[in-house]
Amino acid sequence: MELVNDRYLLSGGVDLLELVEEFGSPLYVYDTAVIKRQFDRIQSAFSVPRLGIHYACKALTNLNILRYLEHLGAGLDTVSIQEVRLGLAAGFAPDRIIYTPNCVSIEEIEMAVELGVKINIDNISILEQFGHHYPQVPVCLRINPHILAGGNAKISVGHIDSKFGISFHQMPHILKVLEATGLRIEGVHMHTGSDILDTEIFLQAAEILFNAANNFPDLDYLDFGSGFRVPYQEGGIATDIEDFGQQFSDRFKQFCEEYGKELELIFEPGKFLVSEAGYFLVRTNVVKTTPSTLFAGIDSGLNHLIRPMFYNAYHQITNISRPGGKPRIYTVVGYICETDTFGINRKISEIQEGDILCLRNAGAYCFSMSSNYNSRFRPAEVLVHEGKACLIRRRETMEDLLRNQVEVDLFASVSGK
């Protein structure tokens, strides 16, 4: 977003405040121009003959976002059968969807096979069962390289105690299962967690995956998951994707030469593609001064955006109603009966009740992690595309809250009335 003549604008000159006037608050807004910029950056960062960018759709699952990414040429990374179905509904070809579940039932995996998508297996028990049922269906193996590459303990999934993937130390066991079942391995995968801090560490983990890959003669692709980091604060650390892409492409091409086949290089970015494309607009309900703190209380809470409370995530907050106002120090809090703090001691231009605040980086893991806690409605979503704003999800209503509730008459037979 940029500030032009005291108005905050998205691509194509769309005015954020006008969106709140038209669609109400709280409101999620996504800008396709930012998604495209990020997609193009990854695509041009890697110079390999076969590159697959599979959008990790758990970050943001609105069908229109999925369709837009499919149109750009992305594949899809899914972690549940419902995400697989959303991907198919959005128009992804089944063979462009990878299903990477963790601790799901064999029945759910069988449903994914029926739908024709690529299967990624992350434990030996399921590998055995799968091999007995479907020896003719090639699969991908999720390998755990035991490398800690996450910015936060909750989103680091490669370490030794992690529940994800098959340990690379278990290779002999994997090979026995393959021999017994005749199953073919078409890909190997790793995903070490969100937020790569360090290209070096990622390259080390990749070496472990290359080693694992050498055990399988019929591979078609190597999938290195994600972990691309985007800046959340001004000057915040971000993955230097251009530098990383250069180094990684060289190493990958060298591996393919040794392996003797041009493999597809796959990444599964979620956050990198959609985080910065999202804006969460909220209204200030109250400004409250206590002896120690100046609070701004907004018409939202951890029910709509839980990342600050769940991951200690930082989301920049701007008062878009009063650009250029005198800055004061605020703690921005939600309206839920929990401590739901969005930001502590933030310098924000003076807030008056009714002002609209904008939380940045609201594209990834924001709406998709929202809930109805405190029986609040989930917000509407709007997509900004080529200068136009379209509603892509209606705000919930009382009917949505009641839809699946079943009222029974507990007292009819007892009272006999």
Ligand X SMILES: *Cc1c(COP(=O)(O)O)cnc(C)c1O
**Using rule CB under 6 A, residue 366 touches ligand X:** no
Nearer to ligand X (CB atom), residue 11 or residue 100? 100
**Segment lying near ligand X (by CB under 6 A), choices 68-76, 222-230, 257-265, 342-350:** 222-230
Q: Which of 25, 100, 284, 300 binds ligand X (CB under 6 A)?
A: 100
Burial of residue 137 (number of CB atoms within 10 Å: 0-12, 13-18, 19+): middle
**Using rule CB under 6 A, residue 79 touches ligand X:** yes
Residues 279-318 touching ligand X, rule: CB under 6 A, are: none
26 preceded by cis ω (within 30°)? yes
Check if the beta carbon of residue 377 is closer than 8 Å to that of residue 401.
yes
Binding mask 56-75 for ligand X (x = CB under 6 A): x-xx----------------
Q: How far apart are CA 141 and CA 127, in angstroms?
A: 9
Nearer to ligand X (CB atom), residue 296 or residue 313? 313
Contacts of 215 by beta carbon, 8 Å cutoff, 6+ apart: 171, 174, 175
**Segment lying near ligand X (by CB under 6 A), choices 66-74, 221-229, 232-240, 383-391:** 221-229
b/e map of 340-350 (b: 16 or more CB within 10 Å)? bebbeebebbe
- Interface with ligand X (CB under 6 A), residue total 18
Q: How far apart are CA 227 and CA 237, in angstroms?
A: 13
Considering just the CA atoms, what is the radius of gyration of the chain in Å?
Answer: 24
Helices (H), 73-182: 81-89, 106-114, 124-133, 171-181
Measured at CB, which residue is nearest to ligand X? 270
> Minimal distance in Å, beta carbon 192 to ligand X?
10
**Using rule CB under 6 A, residue 228 touches ligand X:** yes
Binding mask 253-272 for ligand X (x = CB under 6 A): ---------------xxxxx
Nearer to ligand X (CB atom), residue 22 or residue 243? 243
Q: Which of 86, 306, 320, 364 binds ligand X (CB under 6 A)?
A: 364
**Using rule CB under 6 A, residue 122 touches ligand X:** no
**Segment lying near ligand X (by CB under 6 A), choices 17-25, 226-234, 292-300, 378-386:** 226-234
Identify the helix (H) or strand (E) that includes residue 51: strand 51-56
**Catalytic, out of 57, 337, 358, 390:** 337
Q: How far apart are CA 250 and CA 262, in angstroms?
A: 13
Told to judge if 337 belongs to the known catalytic residues of this protein, a careful annotator would answer yes
**Segment lying near ligand X (by CB under 6 A), choices 54-62, 107-115, 326-334, 348-356:** 54-62
Contacts of 149 by beta carbon, 8 Å cutoff, 6+ apart: 156, 158, 192, 193, 195, 196, 197, 198, 201, 202, 205, 227
**Using rule CB under 6 A, residue 278 touches ligand X:** no
Angle between helices 241-259 and 32-45 (to 10 degrees): 40
**Using rule CB under 6 A, residue 194 touches ligand X:** yes
Catalytic residue numbers read 337
Footprint of ligand X (CB under 6 A) = 56, 58-59, 77, 79, 100, 191, 194, 225-228, 268-272, 364
